[in-house]
Amino acid sequence: MGEPVVLHTTRLTLSRPVASDADAIFEVCQDPEIQRYTTVPSPYTREDAETFVGLVSEWWDSGSECVWAIRDVEGLAGMIGLHAIKNGAAELGYWLAPAARGRGYVDEAARTVVDFAFGPLRLERLEWHAVVGNAASARVAQRLGFRFEGVRRKGLAGHGPRVDGWIAGLLSTDPRTPQSWAL
């Protein structure tokens, strides 16, 4: 893929995280909900943030992942990415800083990333995975039009024993209308 792509929404700029973001990433990743529901290391160190920023550059260069910092007028609001890009598919993942939650930022950023995935990247399928119980993430996926596909028993590696995970999918041909799931 090469050069990182900058995406814009009405209120947000999505751009590759850079070295100067490491302090903000470190601070936000102290949030217990981010450590509980995402794959960030726990405990999360300043070195982890620096390593992450370096990895993002490598991922963009190789085309294996596209990761963007979600930025509002106040600075770093979160992260969103297309992970494990391969054979026409990828996984959509995201997290928000506690102070940025409740503003519709993930929906706004995710719609733009989904458009990029199915547009310029020409992907056919996106997957969404979450730890069973991560209702906030599930609501976002539902609003984006993801179809619930089931529970993967012990399907996710956490910060300890493997945990059950929800999985949902969105095809490039699916209408992007909100979905109701029976969880």
Mean pLDDT of 142-159: 94
Letter for the amino acid at 86? K
Instruction: Using pLDDT thresholds of 50, 70 and 90, give the confidence band for residue 182.
Output: confident
Domain 7-171 grouped into CATH 3.10.450.50: no
- DSSP state letters, 26-88: HHHTT-HHHHHHSSS-SS--HHHHHHHHHHHHHHHHHTS-EEEEEEETTEEEEEEEEEEEETT
Q: Which residue has the tokens 């300043």?
A: 46
For the chain, domain boundaries: 7-171
Q: What global pTM score does this model have?
A: 0.95
pLDDT in tens, 31-71: 999 999 998 999 999 999 999 999 999 999 999 999 999 99
Mean pLDDT of 121-138: 96
Instruction: Using pLDDT thresholds of 50, 70 and 90, give the confidence band for residue 81.
Output: very high
pLDDT of 158 over the 80 cut: no
Instruction: Using pLDDT thresholds of 50, 70 and 90, give the confidence band for residue 27.
Output: very high
- Among 179, 86, 101, residue whose Cα is nearest residue 141: 179
Q: Which residues pair with 72 in a beta bridge?
A: 75
